Chains A and B, each alone.
Chain A
C-alpha cells in the first residue's frame, strides 16, 4: 500500500481530540470550503463554524466533527486544526439542540440591549449550524 496519508491533528485548548493519519480532510474555510490531501501547498486558513470532514483512508468512512471556528495550519505532511470548540457530529443530540434553539429564540425575544442581542444571536447561529450538520 502506498502511503498517501498525512498527519491530522485536531486540538482544542483543553485537549487533543484527534491525532491520526488521514487521507483527506475537508475544512470549512472562511473564504470557502477546502479539501486537503497529502502534498497540499502550505496554507494557513481561518475557519468559520462548521463541519470538518475527515476520511482516514481512500474510500473510507467520513468522520464529521463540528467545530466552532478556529484556524488550520496546512503543510504537505501535516494538518493541524486549532478549534475553539469541537464535538463529534455523532455525539450531537438532535432533540437537545432543538430545545436549545427554542430557548435561545426565546432569549432573543427577551434580550434587552444590543450587546445581549448580538451574543444570543451568535449562539443561535452556532446551534443552527450544529443542527444542519446532523441532518
Chain B
C-alpha cells in the first residue's frame, strides 16, 4: 500500500494537471470564438464567388479548349490529396480521425491503380503520414496561422503550389481532405474535390444555402461579360480554388479549437474525478494508520 506521502504527491500532481487542462480549455474557447467569427466573415465572399462562377460557367460552352481547371485533364490517373490538419496536438481525435480518413482514401485510390501524391498542411499530417507514405508527400506546409489569425495571403501559398503542380501536369484530380466544422462537438473529416471544378457544390448545397442556387435558375437574365466569358473563367477558377482552400483551412482551424476545447473539458473532468477518488483513498489510508497507532498504544499499555 502506498504511503500517505505518496498519496499526497499524487493528488498534488493531478491537481496541477487539472489546472493546466482547464486553462487550455479557456484558451481554446476564446480562440474558437475568434476562429468561428473569421469563418463566418469569409462566408459572403465564398458565396458571391460561387454565384458568380455558376453564372459564368453556365454561359460557357464546354469545349476541349476550355480551362483545364474546369474540365480536367481528361485523365484520372494521378490524384493529389491536400490533407489539412493542425500544427498542435492535444485536441482529441481531431488529427487522428482525419489522418485515418486520408489513409482510407489513399488505400482506396491505390486499389484502383491510381497514383497518389500528397500535400500536407499542418505538422500533424506530415508527422503522422511520414512513416508509411513519406515517398508520396510532395510538399508540406506548417506554421500556418501561427500569427493572430489565418490570412488569405498565407493560404494562397498552398493554392499557388497546387496550381503550379497542375500547370506542370503533375496530377489530374485534386481533393481536399479536411475537418469540416459541423458544431462544437462534431468535426467531420470530409473530402472535397477541387480540381477539376465541380459545378454542383454538393456540400455547399446541403450546408447552409440550399435555396440560393435555386433562385439562380429563376433569374437567368442575359449576362454581359467583360472580357470574354472564357477569359473571366480562366481568372475566376484559380481565385475560386483559393477561396475553397481558404474556407477549408478556416473550418479546420475552428474545428481544431472546438476539438481541443472538448478534449480539455473531458480531461478537466477526469482529473476532478481522479482527485476525488485519490482523496478518498488518502483518507482511508490515514484512518487506517491512526487506528493502527491506537491499537499499538493500547496493546502496549495493556502489556505493562
A binding-site residues for B, Cβ under 8 Å: 9, 11-16, 29-31, 41-46, 71, 73, 75, 80, 82, 84
- Which listed residue, B44, B52, B152, touches A9 by the CB 8 Å rule? B44
Q: B16 to chain A: which residues have CB within 8 Å? A: none
The CB with the most chain A CB atoms within 10 A, among B45, B46, B225, is that of B45
Give 19 new A-B contacts, CB below 8 A, not counting A44-B232, A82-B48. Answer: A11-B44, A11-B45, A11-B48, A12-B45, A14-B41, A14-B45, A16-B41, A30-B227, A31-B227, A44-B56, A44-B223, A44-B225, A44-B226, A71-B52, A71-B232, A80-B48, A80-B52, A82-B45, A82-B49
Q: Mark B226-245, 1 if CB is under 8 A from A, else 0.
A: 11000110011001001100
> Is B136's CB within 8 Å of the partner chain A?
no
Chief secondary structure at chain A's binding surface: strand
A119 to chain B, nearest CB (A): 11
Which of A13, A29, A84 has the most C-beta atoms of chain B within 10 angstroms of its own C-beta? A13
Interface size class, chain B: 20 to 34
Bound CA span A116–B285, Å:
73
| B residues 30-76 in Cβ contact with A at 8 Å | 38, 41-42, 44-46, 48-49, 51-52, 55-56
Is there an interface contact between A31 and B226, defined as CB atoms closer than 8 Å? yes
- Sampled A-B contacts (19; CB under 8 Å): A9-B44, A12-B152, A13-B46, A13-B242, A14-B41, A15-B42, A16-B45, A41-B224, A42-B221, A44-B56, A44-B224, A44-B226, A45-B225, A45-B226, A46-B226, A73-B51, A73-B52, A82-B48, A82-B49
Tell me the minimal C-beta distance from B57 to chain A in angstroms: 11
Neighbouring B residues of A11 by C-beta, 8 Å: 44-45, 48
| A31 smallest CB distance to B (angstroms) | 5
